[in-house]
Amino acid sequence: MSTQARVAAETGEARGLHRPIGERGGAALARLSVGAMGVVFGDIGTSPLYALRDTFAGRHRLPLDPLHIYGIVSLMFWSMLIMVTLKYVIILMRADNRGEGGSLALLALINRETSERRWGRGVILLGVAATALFYGDAMITPAVSVMGAIEGVAVYRPELRDAVVPLVVLILIALFVLQSRGTARLAAFFGPVMLAYFATIALLGLISVGTHPQVVAALSPHYALVMFAIDPWRGFLAMGAAVLAVTGAEALYSDMGHFGRLPIKLSWLAVVLPALVFNYLGQAALLLRQPDALESPFFLLAPHWFHWPLLILASLAAIIASQAVISGVFSVTQQGIQLGFIPRMTIRHTSVAAGQIYIPSINQALFVAVVLLVLVFKRSTNLTATYGVAVTGAMLIDNVLLAVVMFRLWQWKPLFAMPLLALFFAVDGLYLAANLTKVPDGGWVPLLMGVVVFILLTTWSRGRALMRKTMSASGIPLDVFTKSAHSSAIRVPGTAVFMASASAGVPSALLHNMKHNKVLHERIVLMTVQIEDTPFVDPATRAAVRDFGNGFYRVMLRFGFLEETDVPGALKLLSLDGQPFDMMRTSFFLSRQTLLPSDTPGMALWREKLFSWMLRNSASAMEFFRLPTNRVVELGSQIKI
């Protein structure tokens, strides 16, 4: 394989989504690598703002002495090597679902292989739990990143300390308001800004290391082991703050579909990891020679003349990190909707070329949560006390999913897989245990959010399954219906498309139409939209048509879980008996179910009521499937589950 072809395959550009015509493989790789810095590494890239400081000034403070400074830097460095480089970059990123990554994409991949196994449902629940914890973590990242950056104002001008919270809130308001307009144009600057940021923090760190070169020895694992041997309890508690150095590691995997495996690996190994290591070493050298710099070792690394440029650059990096998290929440929500774990929501595409989406209800909920966190906790040190529980919980779950992939999909021998899994479980388990000590100080916030989201996701998934089962049980076979209906109803011109969730039987909307109107159109199309466990579907295989005679057809449309479910667009490419679809002569009939509480053993009554509330507030099928508003007829029915 040529270099250009290999780059295309690794970056996902074989789909033709990114590379301009004539652009060489090396140029495409460089461009995508810089772009990845602006989206993938914003969270982990801004962790130097607060990570090292909070190990010595947070809730569980360590003595500010050489033993603990060297020990913590060593712990952070090896955590980045094991948890980020080895686990995510080298191993887990190989487990892609046709180029896409993330817990839901991995879950969809695993589900195809484990659906017939007893433990398949358990793995699905774990994947949903990881997604729920992601939501809990996502509301903290914008708050702590922007707060950590803007607090530099108080470091350089203590008299402006009271202005920090209002400034943070104003920035967050502007950030969330801009979501509805899209960020396609701004996104082009994200990568170069983050590249400048990483180059700056690396240079500042190296300058500081030059004044105390002995600090480089902290990269040896010896110092972390010595710290735990001499001061095990404090070292264990300090892991709750040290984990801040690896938050955002899961973004490497989740955003793989946007940039590809190779650009993310290159960005991490060539730029981001060295910059973070140099900066942490520089902060450690500063604390060794100037302990009073603990107020903010990140900002105090800069010489006096560079204070405000660094503050501006760090603030831009924090805003970019927040934007990346918000966009990630939109993407995960879209995947959840398509895979049936989240109710239908209004999704707006802000840029067709960039594939960017905006979900108003998610944007509003996230904005309220983030601003409340800022107003309640007021300082980044207080916010970091809530940070880490959800992240480490999700990382631990990723280990379980990785184990399934290793043994079930990759067929690894236990001799090779078990030592790696033991290492990952040991490290992630210790970090999770250390972060659980944060629960009384605010760690309960993302956990509570995760529990709420998990209940919502599982309730919706279970309720949909029960509703489909109930509807299919009372359905009439289509071949039986076509024979009786053809001779007992008046046929009128045009095409009627009846949307059906099940691929068998007659939809309730068609039965109600026959019962009340006693007419049938010339062409009756029973349409089922199926979301596959793959990100994209080949357009050539999107539609499957079955002719039942007498003008009755069943059409199955297949979409990937990252594709827009544009039903009219798919129908325009389809013809029945050589006749194309004319939207002006086509009517769409939708079923609208109302749930009635019942004692039927399926779900607890409170979950039935919750599911009913979610069903009432979900976006209409008309909007979700992009149906023309003036061609839709909605018919209601009542069912019990």
At 17-38, the pLDDT tens digits run: 333 333 446 777 888 888 888 7
The residue among 344, 561, 346, 342 whose CA lies nearest residue 458 is: 342
CB 106 within 8 A of CB 337: no
Cα–Cα dist 549/61, whole Å: 77
Cα–Cα dist 340/324, whole Å: 24
The average confidence (pLDDT) of the chain is: 83
The Cα-based distances of 441 to 390, 395, 444, 467 in angstroms read 14, 21, 8, 42
DSSP 313-324: HHHHHHHHHHHH
pLDDT of residue 20: 37
Query: 436-468: per-residue pLDDT in tens?
Result: 888 888 888 888 888 999 999 999 988 888 887
Query: 102-137: per-residue pLDDT in tens?
Result: 777 777 777 766 655 555 677 788 888 888 888 888
pLDDT greater than 80 at residue 349: no
CB 537 within 8 A of CB 558: yes
Q: What is the SS3 string spanning 461-487?
A: HHHHHHHHHHHHHCCCCHHHHHHHHHH
Q: Is the Cα torsion angle 621, 625, 628, 632 positive or negative in sign?
A: negative
Write the burial class of residue 89 (CB in 10 Å: 0-12 exposed, 13-18 middle, 19+ buried): buried
Enclosing H/E stretch for 133 = helix 120-138
pLDDT of residue 291: 92
Q: Coil, helix or strand for 418? A: helix
Rg of the chain taking only CA atoms, in angstroms: 27
CB 344 within 8 A of CB 592: no
**CA 480 to mean position of chain CA atoms:** 45
Which of the four pLDDT bands, split at 50, 70 and 90, describes residue 367? very high
Which of the four pLDDT bands, split at 50, 70 and 90, describes residue 184? low
Query: 238-267: per-residue pLDDT in tens?
Result: 888 888 888 877 777 777 777 778 888 999
Residues 6 or more apart whose Cβ sits within 8 Å of residue 170? none
Domains of the chain: 27-438 (1.20.1740.10), 474-640 (no CATH)
- Compute the CA torsion angle 428, 433, 439, 441 (nearest 10 deg): -100
Which of the four pLDDT bands, split at 50, 70 and 90, describes residue 229? very high
Query: 474-525: per-residue pLDDT in tens?
Result: 567 777 777 777 667 788 888 889 888 777 778 878 887 787 777 888 888 8
Enclosing H/E stretch for 495 = strand 490-499
Q: Provide the β-strand partners of residue 357.
A: 349
325: tokens are: 């998290």
Provide the whole-model pTM: 0.82
Q: Is the Cα torsion angle 220, 226, 229, 235 positive or negative in sign?
A: negative
Query: 40-49: per-residue pLDDT in tens?
Result: 888 888 899 9
